[in-house]
Chain A
Amino acid sequence: MTSEITGAVLVVGGGIAGIQASLDLANSGYLVHLVESKPAIGGVMAQLDKTFPTNDCAMCVISPKLVEAGRHLNINLHTLTEVESISGEAGNFTVNLLQHPRYVSLDKCTSCGECAKVCPVDTKNDFDEGLRDRKAAYKLYPQGMPGAFAISKRGTAPCKATCPAHVSIQGYIALIRDGRYEQALKLFKQEHPFPGICGRVCHHPCEGECTRNDVDQPLAIRELHRFLADCEKNSGTFYTPGITAEKRAEKVAIIGSGPAGVTAAYQLLQMGYSVTIFEKQAEPGGMMRYGIPEYRLPRDILAGEIKVIQDMGAEIKCGVSFGRDITLESLKKDGYAATFLAIGLHGGRRLGVENEDIAGVLQGVDFLRESAMGKKPEIGNDVIVVGGGNVAIDVALTAKRHGAENVTLLCLESREEMPAWEHEIEEALEGDITIVNSFGPKSFFIDKDQRVSGIEFKTCTKVFDENGRFNPQYDEQVCRPFFCDTVIISIGQSTNLDGIREQGIAISRPGGLEADSVTFQTPIDWVFAGGDAFYGPKSVVDAVACGKEVAESIHRFINGLDLREGREKNWEFVRPETFNEVKKDRVKVNCLDPKARECNFLEVSYGYNEAEAKSEADRCLNCGICSECYQCVDACLAKAVDHGMKPAVQTIQVGSVILAPGFEAFDPTAHENYSYASHPNVVTSLEFERLLSASGPCQGHLVRPSDQREPDRIAWLQCVGSRDINQCDHSYCSSVCCMYAAKQTVIAKEHSAKPLDTAVFYMDMRTFGKDFDRYLTRARDEKDVRFVRSRVHSVEPGADGMLNLRYVTEAGGIIEESFDMVVLSVGLSPVKEAVQLADRMGIELNSHSFAKTSDLLPVASSRDGVYVCGAFQGPKDIPQSVMEASAAAAAAARNLASVRGSLVRAKELPPELDITGQPPRIGVFVCNCGINIGGVADVPAIREYARSLPYVVHVEDNLFTCSQDTQDKMKAVIRETGINRVVVASCSPRTHEPLFQETIREAGLNQYLFEMANIRDQNTWIHMDDPVGATEKAKDLVRMAVAKAVYVEPLHQVSLPVKPAGLVVGGGVAGMEVALGIAQQGCHAYLVERGDTLGGNARMLGETWQGEKVAPYLQSLIRQVEDHPMVHVFMNSEVFETTGIIGNFTTHLRSLTQEAPDTVVDHGATILATGGHEYKPTEYLYGQHREIMTHLDFDASLEKSDPAILNAGIAVFIQCVGSRTETRPSCSKVCCTHSLKSAIKLKKINPDMKVFVLNRDVRSYGFREDLYKEARKAGVLFIRYDVKQPPELVADNDGRLMLTVLDPILGRSLDMHPDLVVLASAVLPNENRALFELFKVPVNAEGFLVEAHSKLRPVDFSSEGIFMAGLAHYPKSLDESIAQSQAAVSRAMTILSKPEIWVGGVVATVEEGRCAVCLTCVRVCPYGVPHIRHEGHAVIEPAECHGCGICASECPGKAISLQHFTDRQIVAKTDALFSAPATPAV
């Protein structure tokens, strides 16, 4: 280890394990970095409905932990983050974290949800397991911490990435789908000024990349924005972008009013510049006006979209020729700061064939221009068009419309090679144009009038060479004459450079303008060039893209900025999976009938109507998830949305690492026989949790997914993705499924209004945890849940959404049943990302891809300083995860003890203002909550109403009261106005009360001088349609809050010093681990053992279940305990007396063997590890024959190589001796594993030995299933017996044993003469009644200690400061005992690490004189806090009180009151509700 140690810990994974580990560490003096890949912490537990075995609501249980972790000063929460790399070693690691963008600022987001409301994109809600949709802007779940929203993105959509102008295509499509056409148009026009023009003429490269190509046909993207333009046109007004930039003095000249020029103007105007466009022709538009025929682009559309820039302030001067009327020099002189040459390609390209200039031979561009100018071009009846591009086709169709009878288009290229777009070629064919391919012109025929009369064409054999370059080859032997009266040449365009060269403007080699390809700057720095004249003939959208770039360059040039910096953007995109996508045909566009097109220039395409547009928009696959429609940006009044966020890497230093990335529910798709992927009514158990959950897709109203009908019958299939080496490779048991299935059956019945039949099909019922069997029995006997021991072969879809199951009973009968739903109890799979994480972390995984650990170091990974906990270490339930999380925290802290407290932050608070004797001065802050409140209720009216209330001296309303700036303002107001009580009328105290309390405390007010009125969650959200009523109700609520605020008083907590020592009772492994752990953290540990040896049951154990030797470990542990200077061992001693409260106990220890005075120890925490022992059976002739033994007997005999074992021919293990009985309903948990290990040993000793395990269920949970498999493989036979028909063991007169048991499969009894019978007898808690009474800790009916909460506080007692570990809590294996001991260390250290603890606040207080000692409070307190001793009245220790108020409400003598909820306060509040306010006396 390096000398430098960092007092911080990295915790990876924000599930319950990660949260618990973080809280323990943060609460014991370490800085925690909690890393979570999702946008909120909570993990799978947050998705669950109820938790077993208490049926507590999972969310209710976890949510205080979420809040605590989310707001903890010493937990740095890194959401949407993953660990990229780690270096260094234990004590000092350097970790790189990669944080993915949230696109919503955590600091600014107030969680109001407006972004989600306006988001048009629906995507699968993963939190609801895909059972419903959510928006792309979302909160993982309502209670999620941090509360900020997030936006889901999957790169940029391919359409947007491909569009040269990068229009948010997916965005406007999403908005069209939503019927928000204006916003859609506005979005389009942010990037592109010509929705109508491009909606008609764009070559739409976007459609080529549309992901729908993989499914059917691409979306009609072009038609959709044309639809928007049509809507705009029909509305009569054109959308003109508002110019928000400040008006600037600089002027820009643009030469040419084509698409590039106009776009540049459009952009520059928005930046505040003045723009003048100089156009040579009579009308603006460039090629759009003079090159594209009217039937494709109607003139009014063009004019309308150009007029927008004039409305924005651009001046367009037509008929001005550059080089003649104006020059660069004149422009300079006129004060133009920059010039953009966007002059286009208005000249034709020549064939280079003799006689090209004779009469009747025209140039295509000239022809189109003339036509566009309204002139009637002189053409004959037989027209030949030379060329194969789009322009040639325009020429041909225009010629046709001008009355030519026969139009033939001839080109070099074959049909496939033609550069014209396919749809244009088809339009030409529709227009009766004859297309002749693979010919090149050879010579013109001239008639007597010297007019053209035809051309001879030669065969073109090849157009492109090997390198794909244009290099036509001809076969002049094969020629063909074509006769005509007009030839129109349309093989390309050229720039007219008249008047350009002369000004010294650089010309490129191909004859265009020369400029930089990125900045478009020409060698003359203030002159820029773009459009066709720069890069050759391209489409309108390319010109738009160019115009935008030029505008940016000119802006930078004028402002003296770097022209290049950050210009080249990589537009990468990711396509979604289209595997299951349903085919939807592209909506066809209606067109003018081909016959009706003759001799007119009416527009051919009709475009989409609204229904067609919506239907087409509905085909969009939302490739990018977020469509980048930016509606959320506008909707967010807190300005929290930022679509430009980038991934960020952060480097942190930590001393230890805890990995808790959890698990992934098994995906049963591959089990095709269960019909999961193909039938909606087959769901996974996690999906079923969401179906049951009140916050789930059907609000907890249980219905079948297929038809929303309430089910009558539901089946659960166990072991899906567990205990299977055939269809999946998860041979292990997932440990939790039996219990959660039992829970789901019970909850489902509770959710169902009618009788619900529930059946669980299983192999072994593995309810091995504390109180689990009790739960199972109750489900079966009281709730009529059917538990069927059978593995169903297939789930067969039947009629009416029903699912048919055919199964065999244990006795062999075949039964067929139909169910409404089938729940697949899916197992816990290793998380793929976690496997990669393990690799990056350099830790080993086991053969099942879970973290590899040893039994004796249960939370240590293979890398020093890196610890693991939760389901990442193996499938396990929540209590075990929480226990391990605390254990991992203790392990992680062990080596950091020397730097504890070095990195933690503490808040510096000003001294509290003394308000004693001051009359109430109340400030009321009414929140608009964006529009959440203000959009419904009349906030100013509420504010003014508050002003009228008694004692109110200050009122105000804010957009967001919780935003940082408002908080700062609130502090200032408190200081300036002398307010001594604060009322906030806003969202919910559930989420925001601690924040406001913190704020007023920072301003010097006691935190309890605060009251909140919930006018959002309980008012504007539910009375959205009744603004008047909501306003009135808000007033009522504010009046009530103010009424109570009058009476609120400062409450003070008092500090008590903590005694930094722990008392540990019990000298077994658990007790020793705890004592040593506490000592290693620098505190004294007093270890009390009533016997004369240390080690407890471990002394009798040979090895752990994974085969690690126990003896060396135990010896080492004892040595360490005895040698550690901070551990003080008291052998042969008992606790005689104990008093005190958390942090401050005093205990008397008395020796059992010596007459000596008591030892008195002071300690801050107590840990009970009093252990358990093996049950000595009264059943099965135990004690009467030496061949009949318990497990511990067997282990001891085996150790001595007892011939009774070695020579046995038949050995029988009988399970559940003394367990799972009526009087002792618990499973002893360890015995199945023990029997399996022993049976395997016997088979190793003698493979021919017949070994039988008579069991009720084989409970080899988790990876212990490997042992079960190994035993079967070795030939051990497992025979299940029924508790009602247990095996019979008798001895004959010779003492020969005879065992009879029924084989349930064959229905036949088996009898045998066993040579060895091993009884798997129960684990019982040690008898400690007196001790437990001394500590006032509860035990259950079986004598095991009862924890504070079976889910989340598995090592705590409800009495604060007392903890438990080991067998006294419940039977457990050695590894679990060690983990629980380490957990107890961690929990104890959260107290012992503090110099003092603060007690008081919202606690119950007793008015001594009124106490009648009736014991009511003692009985009703769920935490066992009130006690009545020598004082003669009830005493409630403020340090222990949880502030629940039950005693206060039950106390018949009104002797108890709950601070901050006193009668006077509550009465004032209720009075205020029903009466008009009067000034109360204070």
Chain B
Amino acid sequence: MVVAIHLERNKKSDFMDKVKDILPDGGNLSLCLTCGACASGCPASGLEDMDPRKFIRMVAYGLDDEITEHPWVWMCTMCGRCMYVCPMKINIPALIFEGRKLWPREKRPKGILGSCDMALRNMSCAATGVSEEDFRFVVEDVLQEVRDTQPGWEDLQAPIDKQDAHFFVSQNSREPVKEPEEMAPLWKILHLAGASWTYGSQGWAGENYCMFLADEENWKKIATTTIEKANSLGCKVYLNTECGHSTYSVWMGQKKFGIATDLEIAPMVKYYAQWIREGKLKVNADWNRDLKIQFTVQDPCNHVRKSFGDPLAEELRYVVKAIVGEENMIDMVPNRSNNYCCGGGGGFLQNGYKEARFYYGRMKHEQVMATRASYVITPCHNCHAQIEDLAAHHGASYRTVHLWTIIALSLGILAENERIYLGPELQEVNLPQKGERDDDK
């Protein structure tokens, strides 16, 4: 039963007015032409009988009561694909963000809420709650193991709080907790590139669930902690490992909250490309010349559309083509800044709306299937988890890998135990030479 809308002369649209006050140019919110471009391109259209255009329309009519605590705000990942083509450049993601704030904090999805709160427990800022000491222990333990068991890596470094390192590297806390051996390929890559880098004992964790929670105070707190740590170590570049939202939370958080720093806040992909171009990472695709294993690549919304744009997408392709071979890289359609969000961002993975998430992700699944690729390279943790989940949900065979895995594979430095995301056909390929390592050090 559709309820009629009563418009009264004195009733105001408080929510609309509030959001317009917050956003630059009022987010163009009132400029809507109701053309439907947003809804046409949104994977969340139809969930909860809602789409971006309807949402704006309801806001415009002042239906604040109906908008408040609407579950759809958690099903929109704020990926920005709507705004990308909106002829009026309406900031719909920001509107949704504010829509999340209409929920009392305690009623917001438990998964996100818990992760945010966990990150606030100590200065690590890790959603998994890992303490500084535990992190240091895991890092040193893994490092020691690599040094002991992998010939040629006896002098591998994984410094924490190294003063005046060039790069401040953040680390998603999933790795130290769940799959510590995944950290080693990255360290090796940084080593070969000759990068001067460090973790921070504080704010090392590269995630920010408080942002998803629309808890601005604590988004700011976490971003400030990590940026200030990097500042204090005298670093020049805040380097995010392959994680879209964490990059965005720091990059955007710094602007939004005006956190003082001279740091360049950069995604890892940019430096992979630079190091390959400079010859520091001598990658090649010879290992795949005969295998011809096909790869596709996911453009994380937070890295590409929402922040660094198509130039970064081009860098990503440059890296992928260099390591798997140009002929073995198949793009999804559409791609780059117009890529479909996978449905893993915005806290979707943690918010409990699992069915909705799979519905949302069907677009991505179909895109991947159309490429017929065996692997999806996902330089983002949320994309990684969601796409892996999608494959399982649909019973599909494509696998999901981080970029570091394939870079290390192509460099011949990916150890046997670092191949958990690789299929059986790649377990033996390009293994490091036993005994010695040949690099340029």
Residues of A within 8 A of B (CB): 672-673, 719, 723-727, 763, 789-794, 796-798, 806-810, 812-814, 1209-1210, 1248, 1250, 1269, 1272-1275, 1277-1278, 1280, 1300, 1303, 1305-1313, 1315
Contacts and interface: CB of A to CB of B under 8 A. Distances in A.
B402 interface: no
Given A791-B37, A808-B39, A1305-B54, A726 B86 contact: yes
Contacts of A1306: 5, 54, 57-58, 61
B421 interface: no
Given A673-B338, A796-B334, A1306-B58, A1313 B84 contact: no
Interface in B80-95: 81, 83-89
A1230 B4 CA distance: 32
Contacts of A1300: 4
Contacts of A725: 28, 87-89
15 contacts: A672-B337, A672-B338, A723-B33, A726-B87, A726-B89, A791-B36, A792-B37, A793-B81, A810-B36, A812-B51, A812-B54, A1272-B31, A1278-B34, A1300-B4, A1306-B61
A1275 B60 CA distance: 9
Contacts of B88: 725-726
Contacts of A1209: 9-10
Interface in B3-17: 3-10, 12
B57 A1305 contact: yes
Nearest to B86: A726
Contacts of B3: 1308
Given A725-B87, A726-B88, A792-B37, A808 B51 contact: yes
Nearest to B11: A1250
B6 A1312 contact: yes
A610 B61 CA distance: 75
B54 A1250 contact: no
B85 A1272 contact: no
A812 B49 contact: yes
- For the complex of A and B, list the 3 residue pairs with the smallest distance between their C-beta atoms, beginning with the closest: A793-B41, A1209-B9, A791-B35
Contacts of A1272: 30-33
Given A808-B39, A1305-B54, A1310 B46 contact: no
Nearest to B56: A1305
B94 to A, nearest CB: 15
Given A673-B85, A726-B88, A790 B10 contact: no
A1273 B30 contact: yes
Contacts of A794: 41, 85, 334, 338
Most chain B CB within 10 A, of A1209, A1277, A1300, is at: A1277
A1313 B36 CA distance: 29
B333 A1269 contact: no
B284 interface: no
Contact of B85 (A727, A808, A1275): A727
A583 to B, nearest CB: 13
A1315 B9 contact: yes
A790 B85 CA distance: 13
A1014 to B, nearest CB: 53
Interface in B58-74: 58, 60-61
Contacts, number: 131
A790 B31 contact: no
Contacts of A1307: 2
Contacts of B2: 1307-1309
Given A726-B85, A798-B333, 13 more contacts: A672-B336, A673-B84, A790-B35, A791-B40, A807-B36, A808-B39, A812-B49, A814-B46, A1210-B7, A1300-B4, A1309-B4, A1311-B6, A1313-B9
B357 interface: no
Contacts of B38: 793
B274 to A, nearest CB: 24
Contacts of A1311: 4-7
B45 interface: yes
Contacts of A1210: 7, 9
Of the four ranges (under 10, 10 to 19, 20 to 34, 35 or more), the interface on chain B belongs to: 35 or more
A1247 to B, nearest CB: 11
B419 interface: no
A645 B33 CA distance: 55
Contact of B333 (A726, A797, A1248, A1305): A797
B53 interface: yes
A1305 B28 CA distance: 19
Interface in B315-336: 333-334, 336
B356 to A, nearest CB: 15
A1303 B87 contact: no
A812 B45 contact: yes
Most chain B CB within 10 A, of A763, A789, A798, A810, is at: A763
A812 B44 CA distance: 12
Contacts of A1309: 2, 4-5
Contact of B53 (A726, A808, A1248, A1250): A808
Contacts of A1315: 9
A726 B39 CA distance: 17
B311 to A, nearest CB: 13
Most chain A CB within 10 A, of B12, B83, B88, is at: B88
Given A814-B46, A1272-B31, A1277-B60, A806 B40 contact: yes
B87 A719 contact: yes
A1310 B54 contact: no
Contacts of B9: 1209-1210, 1250, 1313, 1315
B219 to A, nearest CB: 27
A1303 B57 contact: yes
Contacts of A1280: 34
Given A723-B33, A794-B334, A812 B87 contact: no
B333 A796 contact: yes
Contact of B87 (A723, A796, A1310): A723
Nearest to B82: A793
B5 A806 contact: no
Interface in B222-237: none
Given A719-B87, A763-B35, A1272-B32, A792 B40 contact: yes
A1430 B133 CA distance: 116
A1210 B12 CA distance: 12
Contacts of B5: 1303, 1306, 1308-1311
Contacts of B60: 1277
B45 A763 contact: no
B353 to A, nearest CB: 19
A808 B333 contact: no
B10 A793 contact: no
Contacts of B8: 1312
Most chain A CB within 10 A, of B7, B57, B60, B88, is at: B7
A806 B58 CA distance: 23
B4 A1310 contact: yes
A819 to B, nearest CB: 15
A763 B31 CA distance: 14
Nearest to A815: B40
A1280 B35 CA distance: 11
A812 B40 CA distance: 9
A715 to B, nearest CB: 13
Nearest to B13: A1275
A806 B41 contact: yes
Contacts of A808: 36, 39-40, 45, 51, 53
A1168 B132 CA distance: 90
A794 B338 CA distance: 8
A763 B46 CA distance: 21
A725 B88 CA distance: 5
A786 to B, nearest CB: 15
A123 B221 CA distance: 62
Contacts of B53: 808, 812, 1305
Contacts of B58: 1306
A814 B45 contact: yes
A30 B315 CA distance: 63
Contacts of B337: 672
A791 B45 contact: no
